[in-house]
Structure 1
């Protein structure tokens, strides 16, 4: 069921989203060569704890996973697309890192992700991150009253295809509110003027995931959670929680 939020609910979701934005900013500031992914998870836990928020990631157990997720961030490095488990891996010079984080505050959820490089960046990685950012911006620009979910999907996919990036078909954005994952699903490619009409109070997590190699396929890692590009190419993932309003799209996960 698709839930339309009241204006008061949007304000409450903004507070949850602010915590997410602050956690992502803190993790990005802490990320450096030699820092472990587990240490970055600790940084995010501290931000959530100080804000009185909880994590919708920690303990989350969807049907495809072998067990509950053990962290408050997903930390995906290089060829990992999404759902990377923070472990003792220490960041190396030139790594491309994607961090996904959520928070629940006063019963409302926020969800966002950022991609960045550590140390000396590869030009191709910077280009991939920039393309993913432009895809997100195109998707958010299409998130207006009167459009449909397919318009968001088409906008994201258009940027990705123009840059010859792959787009995993089975993963995309989603509705969000009192639960992290709500209806509708928001694919990262699709046809315009299709799908659910967008109206004031609908809140979506819009999250392009682009694969540098141009192929759309991926593989599951042995941990059952991490998804990696099938060809070993790099991936980027950027996300915001966005409210559809009569005044235009409103990003709820800025710090």
Structure 2
């Protein structure tokens, strides 16, 4: 009995010493297993999160692409196209304004030229009136054929200036003054025709009567008759002038010489 108890005592410590080692081994295996499961779990969650992030990125890119595909045309139609159209219209308006400014400048230049030419005609008419008055006073004292011929030339020159100024008044739509000049030229040419018996002047007077009949109600028709009368006076041949009316141009008025004759100065005879 004593020996058995001694053996039992010797065995118990061995068993007590072996149990902790086995427990540590099992615990290590459990920890390793838990670590492995924890790694797989973390990897799985990370992979799922990656897929979710990738899906979000794909969705964001898809939405961004849809926004660009449909948004850019809308922006183009709503914002960019109106701005470009307004810019194009502004450019057209600027070009139109520049063109109008050029036309206004040309019209002002032509108006100044017309006014200058009218003043030239007026000065020439006044000078010729003074010369004619001097010649007529000389004729009263001395009925000279040379002086009489000179008077006729001065009267014809005055008629040219009056008709030239009347044409310019018509170009300015100043029909009242044009009618006055045509009437004065007609009366002067009638006096000249009475003294000379020139048939060409008869044709001119007939055309001037037609022009006076159309003023101021029908200035276009009147300008045609006035143009024909002017051409008859210049050519000196009524048969060479067409009977059809034509509208004169302002450029012709401006290039016309106020006095078509060189009128010599008259020195009174003492």
TM-score by length of 1: 0.28
Greater strand content: 1
Greater helix content: 2
TM-score by length of 2: 0.27
